[in-house]
Amino acid sequence: MKRMENAEYIALVLVLAGIAFAVLHWERVVGVVDAIVHHTEQATAPTPPASPPAAQASGSLLPKPAASAPAKLQLPASTASLPALAHSDRFAAHAIGALVGHEAFARWFLPRSLLEHIVSTIDNLARRHVPVSHWPLRPTPGALRVRSDGTQVWIADDNAQRYAPYVAMLRRVDPAALVRTYLQLYPLLQQAWRELGYPHGQFNDRLLAVLANLLAAPQPAAPVALTQPHVLYLYADPALEAASSGQKILIRIGPHNEAAVKQWLRQVQTDLRRHLVPAPHESTAPGD
């Protein structure tokens, strides 16, 4: 039986999902069990999967891309001076820190293999499960807040308050500036996408598909009912439990926060599309 994610994403992504979803990151749904799991996984050096996530048990929930004219990103000339991916952590940390604030970056982000983990996280937001070891962010303090009448459990109304500071931080990040940083880093992100196990297609296509998936997340009326068949909570509504991991994160942060994050993501999506130009002879299959 599929379990509710044991950690929450702060940033619906971003560079994007990886940068932005800094806001929504890592929620521990059960205290003792999650603390043990988190401690164990953080103690090991995280590495991207050796095979494409498409081959993993938790498959993508995105539809197959329709046959259409592909598009290519217009990249700035300054990308020619990028460091090698294996030595990009300091460069990427400075670029992302300039967006979210260097103090916030130091507090929330794990700078090791930063771009590789951002790419892996974005990819996995449209899957049913996101490996904890692939998150680029530190865990958010506290556990999922719930209320119960003795027979039924719901997400507590005040659970949304845990995310308010992060959503406020996200909304202070200028979407256009975020897209400019994304374009600057894109060759490294594309390389990380290849090394993740996708020899064809563009990471940007996957990112746009994941953004669409996040924006399509359901907005159930509060309170959202949970069930606890074993130790971890699941959504009581099978349709919600079947949603992608990124959609579940948006549901758990509460309706007000979800609406604010979606509004921000739409701005990012719109600005990113302005940098696309037709490239009829290139494949755009996102690798799934």
Per-residue model confidence as pLDDT tens for the chain (288 residues): 444 444 344 333 333 444 333 333 334 333 333 333 333 333 333 444 433 444 343 466 665 554 455 678 999 888 888 999 999 999 999 999 999 999 888 888 888 999 999 999 999 999 988 777 778 877 666 788 999 998 899 999 999 988 887 888 888 899 999 999 999 999 999 999 999 999 889 999 999 999 999 999 999 988 999 998 887 889 999 999 999 999 999 999 999 999 999 999 999 999 999 999 886 654 545 554
Judge whether 162 and 54 are in contact, CB under 8 Å: no
Q: Which of 252, 28, 285, 217 is nearest to 135 (CA)?
A: 28
Q: How far apart are CA 15 and CA 176, in angstroms?
A: 12
Judge whether 251 and 259 are in contact, CB under 8 Å: no
Q: How far apart are CA 141 and CA 139, in angstroms?
A: 6
Whether residue 141 is preceded by a cis peptide bond, meaning omega within 30 degrees of 0, is no
Inter-CA distances, 1 with 33, 38, 140, 232, 238, Å: 17, 20, 26, 11, 12
**Which two tokens mark 169?**
């931080």
| Total Cβ atoms within 10 A of residue 43 | 7
